[in-house]
Structure 1
Amino acid sequence: MMNNYLKLAAVFVLIVGLITSLAAPVQAANNGGINEKLGVPIVVYGDTLSDEQKNKVSDLLDVNDPEAVKEYTVTGEDIANYIDGDPNSRMFSSAKITRQEKGEGLSINIVTPENITQVTNEMYANALLTAGVEDATVDVASPVKVSGHSALTGIYKAYDAEGQPLDKERMQLADEELGVATDLAKDGLSQEKVSELLTEIKKAIADQNPATKEDVEKIVQEQLDKLGISLSEEDRQMLIDLFNKMKDLNINFDEVKNQLDNIASKVQELVNDEGFWNKVENFFKKFANLIGNFFEGLFN
């Protein structure tokens, strides 16, 4: 019996080793030291978090050394200031922003997707690009189920606090865009389809440079037809109004398109990364062999 326990312990150690080896490249990428040019990552915590919840979020966002990040707190007053929201809002969702070199693109990672109930990575990316956030890695987490809006406001506050304030009209429009996205998802479209639709409309605006509301309406309808999406007249008009406002703001849609293309290429690179998938495949092969050998050994 003791031998069986020893074998089980050995298998456990080997499994941990395999998992560690698979995760090592990711950990190495996250521990590259402080970027003296771009500055340390910025972490913005929701004001409603208890001390225990804040510690949990800190762990989720890989804040191992508080001295290696700048920390801020986002409050209900901030949501009123940046996007004219409710100053009594309860703020749980939090974010870590790591600035990247120009051209690196925007990368979003929802660490707790089970708790961010209304917003996907792509929805955050679209809204942040509308607000003017580019070339950054953004991690979002919450210890409880929330819509995810306070993280967006926290990101705006971080840029403001760091001396890079974003345009208020663009921030408000980004929040409206997020509202439109979540409304469309509630009305029956999948979140993925909503994100694809918003992305394709932005790319078409960059290509066609519409001058009138009628031009915007034409672009919206073209993308709805292309993606095979049927909306109520109310939802269709909501989209037209949103992008007509966007057209009138000082947004460089060519740059937005470049950032969106960059996001898509990163996803494709991961899909095509044979080295990564080979490691995953080898991990599960070794895991299966270990389990098989263990149970075989139990009966020998």
Structure 2
Amino acid sequence: MRKSTIGIVILSIILVGMIIPIGFSGQIDPVVITYGETTNANADYKNTVDAFFKNQANVDLASANTKIISASEVNKISSSITGKTYGSNQIFSSALVDLNDNAKLQVSVDKSKITTITGDMYLSALKSAGITSGHVYVTSPVTATGESALAGIMNSYEVATSVEIPDTVKEAANNEIYTQAEVVENSNVTSEEVSKLVDDVKETVKEENITDHQTIVNVINNYTIVNNINITNSDVENLATAIEQVQNVQGDINNYESQISDVLNNTNGTDTSKGLFDGLFG
């Protein structure tokens, strides 16, 4: 089992926004904010998070759709990742998704609080889920690595569009984030180097339609040589598994994108989510 690197504070967002209306409503909810219950219950914490969103997103928070995630909801799936359980005083991290700003996918990370996962890592993993538009903001009132925020971000997209992302797609994208974080911890490389490596490999794998694990390993090794990146054999294997998993859920991604197209085509008189989901690798 892969060694967990997730701290208490970054598991807080993993189930953010899980109560989602599924189906084709033809309605777009352009701004969604997700709060951990600890943050929501603490005025200072919530003010800190809101201040970041107001400063960065420039949206009316009062009109945003908001969701609160509880410790019990986090614990439903935390055991499959860390084996830990969390109390109601340990659910912190928050995210905002703005579909009004949709020319291209952007991610703004509060670097003073999110210490490991970069904006580029979120971008890469979101594109692996088929999401290529909207502006995402990630923060926490306390220090967090940010590994688990991707699940909350994707759930925010579900809230915004009322269309569920397949579990297989969520799992593949989240596995990509966890794997990249683990590589950063295990090897003497930066988050930026790992993110670029994964993007380069995914592009090659996509273009050549590679699904064989060993071939993906070879592609990774080639790029580590070209870019002078030194990572362990174990990290190479884990990255290959994560990228292979993304390739193997292409059918689910295509079906999801078809559903999204139905929603967007039936949204009368709004351009809010035009081009929202454009493809796997952007």
Matches within 5 A, 1:1-300: 38-49=28-39, 50-62=42-54, 65-79=60-74, 84-85=80-81, 86=84, 88=86, 90-100=90-100, 104-110=103-109, 112-162=110-160, 163-186=162-185, 187-250=187-250, 251=253, 255-258=279-282
Within 1, Cα distance between the matches of 2:59 and 2:279?
34
- Root-mean-square deviation over aligned CA pairs: 2.7
Residues 81-127 of structure 1 show CA distances to partners (whole Å, capped at 9, x for unaligned) of 6784455273322111011577x2210001x2011011111111112
Greater fraction helix: 1
Q: Secondary structure at the match of 2:67?
A: strand
Structure exhibiting the larger radius of gyration computed from Cα positions: 1
Q: Secondary structure at the match of 2:66?
A: strand
**Do 1:78 and 1:87's aligned partners in 2 also have CA atoms closer than 8 Å?**
no
**What is the TM-score normalised by the length of structure 2?**
0.69
Q: Closer, same or farther in 2 for the Cα pair 1:150/1:191, shift >3 Å?
A: closer
Q: Secondary structure at the match of 1:255?
A: coil
Q: Closer, same or farther in 2 for the Cα pair 1:158/1:80, shift >3 Å?
A: farther
Q: Which runs of 4+ in 1 moved over 6 A?
A: none
Within 1, Cα distance between the matches of 2:70 and 2:126?
19
**How far has the Cα of 1:38 moved from its partner?**
4.6
Q: Closer, same or farther in 2 for the Cα pair 1:65/1:229, shift >3 Å?
A: closer
**What is the TM-score normalised by the length of structure 1?**
0.65
Within 1, Cα distance between the matches of 2:170 and 2:112?
26
**Do 1:82 and 1:156's aligned partners in 2 also have CA atoms closer than 8 Å?**
no
Q: How many residues align?
A: 220
AA paired with 1:129? Answer: K
Bigger RCO (CA 8 Å, 6+ sep): 2
**Do 2:147 and 2:181's aligned partners in 1 also have CA atoms closer than 8 Å?**
no
AA paired with 2:279? Answer: E
* Identical pairs, percent: 21
**How far has the Cα of 1:212 moved from its partner?**
2.1
Q: Closer, same or farther in 2 for the Cα pair 1:100/1:225, shift >3 Å?
A: farther
Q: Which runs of 5+ in 1 are unaligned?
A: 1-36, 259-300
Q: Closer, same or farther in 2 for the Cα pair 1:235/1:151, shift >3 Å?
A: closer
Further displaced range: 62-71 or 161-170: 62-71
Within 2, Cα distance between the matches of 1:56 and 1:97?
17
Q: Which runs of 5+ in 2 are unaligned?
A: 1-26, 255-277
**Do 2:125 and 2:174's aligned partners in 1 also have CA atoms closer than 8 Å?**
yes
AA paired with 2:171? Answer: Q
Residues 159-181 of structure 1 show CA distances to partners (whole Å, capped at 9, x for unaligned) of 33341211112212222211111
Q: Closer, same or farther in 2 for the Cα pair 1:106/1:212, shift >3 Å?
A: same
